[in-house]
Amino acid sequence: MSKEVRPPRHRGQGGMAPVEKAKDFTGTIKKILETLDKEKYFLIVAFIFSIASTVFSIYGPKILGNATQKIYEGVIAKLTGGGSIDIGRVHAILKSALLLYIISAFCNYLQSYLMSIATQKYTFRIRNQLEEKLHKLPFSYYDNNKRGETLSIFTNDVDNMQICFNQALTQAITSITTVVGIFIMMLSINVSMTIVAVLILPLSLLFVINIVRKSQKYFKLNQTNLGHVNGSIEEMFSGHNIVKTFNAEERMLKEFNKSNKLLRDSGWKSQFLGGLMHPIMISIGNLGYVGIAIIGGYNIIQGKINVGELQSFITYSKNFTQPITSLAQVFNQIQSMVASAERIFNFLNEKEIKENKKAYELGDVKGNVEFKNVSFGYDDNKIIIKNFNAKVKSGEKVAIVGPTGAGKTTMVKLLMHFYDINSGKILIDNNDINDITLQSLRKNISMVLQDTWLFNGTIKENLKYGSPDASDEEIIEAAKAANVHNYIMALPDKYDTIMDEESSNISQGQKQLLTIARAILADSKILILDEATSSVDTRTEELIQESMDNLMEGRTSFVIAHRLSTIKNADLILVMDKGDIIESGTHDELLKKHGFYANLYNSQFEK
C-alpha cells in the first residue's frame, strides 16, 4: 500500500551502504581533470604538502625509537656501573621529533587550506555552469525529465562531489604515501619482521571480504525496508485526514508495525555483521604484534636490531593496516564522487536551444499574428497540430476553445517559441519568429498560466519580475487593473508583504490575480491568458473579466478558456479538436451554426 520512497544514504557501524558507480569511470575522471582551471595548481601544491606532511609524520617514530634506545643504553650503563643516561642527547632527539611533527602539522594545515580553496572555486564554477545551462535547455528537456532528478543534480550531486573532492583525494594521496613510506621504514629496520607484518594483511582481508559478502545483502535489505517505513510515515502524515475519516488508524498501524519489524530484523543483522569487522581486525592485528614481538626479541638477542628499533617497528606495524582500510573507504567515496560528476557532466552536455545566429531584434510591435500551415508534434512520429492556419489582426481578442488535448495550450507555446515547429510558419507583423531573437520575441508577449508561480519575496518584487524598472505608481495601477490593489492594501505590510516559497500565506485566487497584475505591468503588445481565471470564484472572475476587457484594448489577446461564458465578447473564437480548427467565428455566429461549439456551450449550462 505504501508508495516507495527513495531512502537516504545510510551508513551502518563498520559497514557501508552500496555505492552507486559511474558508467564511464575513466572517461569521467578525464573530464574532471579537463574541466579544472586554475584549481589544478592549488591541487598540485596541496598534494605536495600532503606528501610532505605524511613523510615527516612517518619519520617521527624512527626518531622516537632512537630516543628510547638512548634511554635504554643509559639505564643499562647505570645498572652495570659504567655510565648514566645522556639527558642532553635525549632532549635533542625529542626536540627534533617535536619539530618534525610541527612541520608535518603545518604542511597538513596548508594542504587543507589549499584543497578547500580549490574545491570551493571548482564547485562555484560548476554551479554557475549548471545555472546557465538551465536557461539554455529546450522545453522538451523539462517534459522528458523529472524535476526532482534535475534538482538532485544541483544539490545532492554537487554537494557530494564537493565533499568527496575535498576529502577523498587528499586522503587517497595520504594513505598511499603512508603505506609506501611505512613499508620502506619497516624494511630498513628488519626484513623478517616486515614479512610477518605484511602477511597479516591477506588474513585480515580474507575475514573482511567474507563479512562484507554476508552483511551486504542485509545492508541492501535494510535500505529497502527503510524506504518502506519512510513511505508509510509520509503516507500517514500527508493523508492523516483521510486516515481518520475512514477510521483506518488501526489498519495503518498494523502495516507500519509490519514494515518496522522487517527494518528491525534487517537492521540488527547488518549492524552486527558490520560491527564485527573492527574487533576482528584488532584481534588479527594483535596476533601479528605477538609474532613481531617474538621475532623482534630474537633479533635483539642476535644483535640484528636494538630496543628502540623494535619500538619503532611496532609503531609502524600498528599504523600499517589503517591507511589500507582507509583506501577501501576512499575508493568508495571516489566512486560516489565520479558517479555524481558523471550526472553533472551529462546534464551540462544536454542539447541546448539553437537560436538563429542571424536572428534580429523585433522592433516596434503592432501585434499582427499569423499561423501558416503549422504542423507540430512533441514526438516526430505523432503529430498533434496539423496544418493549422489562423490570422489575427492587431488588437483583436481571440479565444481558443476545445476539449482537453485539442492542442490549445500547445498553440500559444509555439507562438512563444518554446518549441520548434515541424513545418509551416508563425509570423508576428510579417516577421518569422525563427528569424527573431528569443529575448525580443518574449519581451513583447506577456503570459498568464493556469499554474501560478510566485517566488519568495515581497509582493512588489513579484509584480516587478517582468518589469524591473517599473515605478511604484505603475505597480499600483497594474494592481488596480487586476482588482487586487484593495486586497494588498489590507495586508499589514501592504506591497512590502513577504510571500513564502509556496505562497501558502495567500489564497489560490489571490495568487492568480497577482500574476495577472504582473502581466499587466509588463505592458506587452501581445497577451496570452491560459485558463487565467480558473482558480477564482465567480465574483472575482467577473471583476477580472471587467478589468481584462479594459486591459485588452489595443492589444492582441489569446485567451484559452474552458468556461465558455468568459469569452462571449471575443472578436474571434477558434474551436480546436485533435489539432485542427474545426470552427471559427464570434460567439453568436457559432451558436447559430448549432455545431461543435454550440453543443459544448450548451452542455456547460445543462450541467
Q: What is the pLDDT of residues 163-206, one digit of tens each?
A: 888 888 888 888 888 888 888 888 888 888 888 888 877 777 77
The residue count for the chain: 607
Query: Residue 597: what residue type?
Result: Y
Nearest-angstrom CA–CA distance, 578 and 555: 28
Residue 2 pLDDT more than 50?
no
How far separated are the first and last CA of the chain, in Å rounded?
Answer: 36
- Please say if the pLDDT value at position 47 is more than 80: yes
Do strands 369-376 and 423-428 pair parallel, antiparallel, or not at all (unpaired)? Answer: antiparallel
Residue 500's CB is within 10 A of a number of other CB atoms, namely 12
Q: What is the average pLDDT value for the chain, to the nearest integer?
A: 80
pLDDT score of 459 more than 70: yes
Q: What is the mean pLDDT of residues 364-382?
A: 82
pTM, to two decimals = 0.70
Do 428 and 436 touch, CB atoms closer than 8 A?
yes
379 confidence band (pLDDT: 50, 70, 90)? confident
pLDDT of residue 522: 80
Res 151: pLDDT: 81
Rounded Cα distance between 579 and 566, Å, is 23
What local confidence, expressed as pLDDT, does residue 4 receive? Answer: 36
pLDDT per position as a tens digit, 93-118: 888 889 989 999 999 899 889 888 88
Q: Which residue has the higher pLDDT, 61 or 328?
A: 61
Query: 143-153 pLDDT, tens per residue?
Result: 777 777 788 78
**Residues ≥6 apart with Cβ < 8 Å to 164:** 333, 334, 336, 337, 340
pLDDT tier at 11, thresholds 50, 70, 90 = very low
Q: Sort 289 into a burial class: Cβ within 10 Å, 0-12 / 13-18 / 19+.
A: middle
Confidence of residue 19 (pLDDT cuts 50, 70, 90): low
Residue 466 has pLDDT above 80, yes or no: no
Q: How far apart are CA 173 and CA 114, in angstroms?
A: 15
383-398 confidence digits (pLDDT tens)? 778 788 888 888 888 8
Specify the residue for cell string 492523516.
240
Q: Which of 548-552, 565-569, 579-583 has the least mean pLDDT?
A: 548-552
Q: Tell me what pLDDT residue 103 has.
A: 92
Give whichever of 95-99, 434-438, 524-528, 544-548 has the largest mean pLDDT: 95-99
Beta bridge partners of 398: 558, 572
CATH class, domain 367-444+562-607, is: alpha beta
Q: Is the pLDDT of residue 483 over 80?
A: no
pLDDT > 60? residue 8: no
pLDDT at 1: 38
Cβ proximity of 45 and 362 under 8 Å: no
Report the alpha-carbon distance of residue 289 to residue 305 in Å, rounded: 17
Cα dihedral value 354, 360, 365, 370, nearest 10 = -50
User: Counting runs of H as helices and runs of E as strands, what totals does the chain give?
Assistant: 19, 12
Per-residue pLDDT at 217 exceeds 60: yes
- C-alpha to C-alpha distance for 472 and 454, rounded to whole angstroms: 19
- Flag whether pLDDT at 559 surpasses 50: yes
What is residue 468's predicted lDDT score, i.e. its pLDDT? 81
Rounded to an integer, what distance in angstroms lies between the CA atom of residue 366 and that of residue 555?
8
For 546, residues 6+ apart whose C-beta sits below 8 A from its C-beta are 483
Among residues of the chain, what percentage have pLDDT more than 90?
2
Nearest to 169 by CA among 398, 393, 4, 334: 334
What's the whole-number mean pLDDT along residues 263-292?
A: 79
Q: How far apart are CA 168 and CA 76, in angstroms?
A: 48
pLDDT over 80 (residue 227)? no
Q: 21 pLDDT exceeds 70?
A: no
pLDDT at 16: 44
Q: Taking the mean position of all CA atoms in its chain, how far away is CA 116?
A: 21
Residue 260 burial (CB count, 10 A):
17
CB 265 within 8 A of CB 218: no
Cell 489560490 locates to 508
Q: How confident is the model at residue 17 (pLDDT cuts 50, 70, 90)?
A: very low
Instruction: Say if CB 236 and CB 5 are below 8 A apart.
Output: no
pLDDT of residue 102: 92
**pLDDT tier at 265 (50, 70, 90 boundaries)?**
confident
What pLDDT, on the 0 to 100 scale, is given for residue 550?
A: 64
State residue 273's pLDDT score.
77
- Which of the two residues, 316 and 285, has the higher pLDDT score? 316
Domain ranges of the chain: 367-444+562-607
d(CA 311, CA 299) in angstroms, rounded, equals: 13
Cell numbers standing for residue 34: 579537463
Tell me which of 119-128, 320-329, 579-588 is least confident: 320-329
Q: In this structure, what is the dihedral angle of CA atoms 1, 20, 265, 237, given to the nearest 10 degrees?
A: -40
Enter the C-alpha cell of residue 13.
Answer: 557501524
